[in-house]
Structure 1
Amino acid sequence: MRLAMLDLDSYLLRAFLTVAEIGTVNGAAVKLNRTQAAVSMQIRKLEELVGVTLFSRSSKGLELTSHGQIMLAYAREMVALSDEVGKRLTGKMIEDRIRLGVVEDFAAGHLIDILSAFRAQNPKVEIDIIVEPNRRLAKLFEDRKLDLVVCDITCLSRKPTLIWTEYLMWTVRSDFVADTEKPLPIIMFEEECPWTLPTIAALSQRNVKWKTACVASTLVAMATAVRVGIGIAPMMLTTKPEGCRTLDRSADLPGPVRIEIGLYAQPETAEGARYLVDFISRHTAILSS
């Protein structure tokens, strides 16, 4: 009954979201242009209102509790709706240009629906989409040549705004038959790709005999090699080529390759980029579907 009567101030929610993003009260205070004491008080007041602890301390700073993780999704939604109402009532439309870097596998799948929906709501926001390998994207971001980037979290040392887990599934041409008596022909990433090591680990975990049948430098190259029938490739389900299938999960075959992808934003970004970050954060269900 108490939860039904909650009246959450967006001022408190914005403080909560900023602390969650940066990981420290001091850093959040600088970004919000408030005192550290004021931000601490806002977090305490929010915790008193909801009746649970939202943050716990660790060696890395403040981390969200399980209740905080639940609160995060709702806070983003409520703040975004508050901003949207303000824009609609005042007739204001965001006009901006965003430099978005995306690893090829996501540009070809997960983000299409999100970016399409974002553009439909924000037609005056221009988006430059830069598709490069993970490490190249990280370098461009560090050089401040990108406003936002979506790449493997091992490529950047800073804390991402959003993290989600993805699995690379073993993909083959539909008529491919795996002969477990012989080394499996693997279509492998380039050595410098951050997904190479977890791929090898997945193969080693089940003591699978394998050989490198082909090294693919791009998603197109990997998809082509699979469709030609050269071998087996670790690919996201959203990028599975036509006429191909994923291997059954058998004890004789390698398991899925787990990777983690992060969304990163420059510390000081324009309104359009900030709004796109919030938009992606509110639509993470699409990313994990």
Structure 2
Amino acid sequence: MAGSLDIDLLRSFVMVAETGVLSRAADRIGRSQAALSMQMKRLEDLVGHPLLTRTGRGVLLTVQGDRLLVHARRILATHDDAVAEFSGGSLGGSLRFGCPDDYAQAFLPHLLRSFAQLHPAAAIAVVCAATPRLQAQLDRGGLDLALLSVSLGAERDILRREDLVWVASRDHAGIWPDPLPLALGDPDTLDHRAALATLDRAGRAYRIAYASGSLSGLLAVVRSGQAIAVLTRSAVSPDLKILARTGGLPPLGRIGITIRIAERHASPLARAFAGHVRAVLPVL
């Protein structure tokens, strides 16, 4: 590496990575597209590798660009937290944060606790719902930002990848009969769609024993031994058992987790929390 990494260059690079379009990124950071292109060239010279590939629809990150993005987010979050702490700039105010139920159990306690240590005056109201409902609230302005499940091929800004797994009660984890009884989320959620598509491809008969956006209701059905469910691996509690392929169930694949912010009215607190999630979630 020919020199140190400039914070301003890294901030511009992250915006380019998140928007995928130089003109849109330039608008958001208040620079001309030409100036932003020069910044990206300078950053590539500093790291000694090409970071972006230009396409007809925008820009894509190279392998080295993907690697730098992980470091850039972490550096920026640490930098901004340090500036806030030592300038007396600990942030206050309130925001509404959306989070799917399974991620709330797996990740939210650590995210909220670590952010409160940096910004103790901040008040974060959490809204738990399935991803489609959170996206709708975000679009209407009812949320400041939200953690969402996305298909890996449909999103650029993936913070974490999660395996989808079949789960059952530990007391009822034997061979399941046909048709396979399923407890699933709402029909428009990724877990529901992945389960049905996977079983259809495998030619396995099934029936929907329970379908609802309520995770607690879904897990109650699973714990009763009446059905099996699909969860992300991080959301599997100790009283549930992941059903391996040896049980005759086909693999479900993976999904991504991303964070989206209501850009038009994003407050400094919302941007700070989004940056914190981007830095912390991948390493939890």
TM-score, structure 2 as length reference: 0.89
Any idea what SS the aligned residue of 2:246 has? Answer: coil
Identity level (%): 27
Letter in 2 for 1:164: R
The question of 1:24 aligning with 2:21 is answered: yes
Alpha-carbon separation, structure 1, partners of 2:31 and 2:187? 46
- Out of 8-17 and 138-147, give the one that drifted further: 8-17
Identify the match of residue 197 of structure 2 among 196, 201, 211. 201
Map residues 174-253 of structure 1 onto 2, 5 A cutoff.
174-179=170-175, 182-250=178-246, 252-253=248-249
Q: Deviations over 1:5-35 (max 9, x none)?
A: 6212112112111111221221122111112
Alpha-carbon separation, structure 2, partners of 1:227 and 1:179? 16
Letter in 1 for 2:232: M
**Paired residue for 1:164?**
160
Alpha-carbon separation, structure 1, partners of 2:173 and 2:23? 58
Map residues 82-93 of structure 1 onto 2, 5 A cutoff.
82-93=79-90
Q: Is the 8 A contact 2:98 2:143 kept in 1?
A: yes
The question of 1:272 aligning with 2:239 is answered: no
Q: Is the 8 A contact 1:53 1:68 kept in 2?
A: yes
Change (3 A) 1:89 1:117: closer
Letter in 1 for 2:37: S
Q: Is the 8 A contact 1:202 1:257 kept in 2?
A: no
Letter in 2 for 1:48: D
Runs of 5+ in structure 2 lacking a partner?
A: none
Cα distance, 1:177 vs. partner? 4.6
Letter in 2 for 1:283: V
Map residues 248-263 of structure 1 onto 2, 5 A cutoff.
248-250=244-246, 252-263=248-259
Alpha-carbon separation, structure 2, partners of 1:181 and 1:104? 29
**Paired residue for 1:11?**
8
**Paired residue for 2:132?**
135
**Paired residue for 1:101?**
98
Q: Is the 8 A contact 1:227 1:241 kept in 2?
A: no
Map residues 71-86 of structure 1 onto 2, 5 A cutoff.
71-86=68-83
The question of 1:57 aligning with 2:54 is answered: yes
Cα distance, 1:89 vs. partner? 2.8
Runs of 5+ in structure 1 lacking a partner?
A: none
Q: Deviations over 1:21-61 (max 9, x none)?
A: 22122112211111211111111111111111111123431
Change (3 A) 1:238 1:7: closer
- Number of residue pairs matched? 281
**Paired residue for 2:144?**
147
Alpha-carbon separation, structure 2, partners of 1:191 and 1:12? 43
Q: Is the 8 A contact 1:99 1:147 kept in 2?
A: yes
TM-score, structure 1 as length reference: 0.88
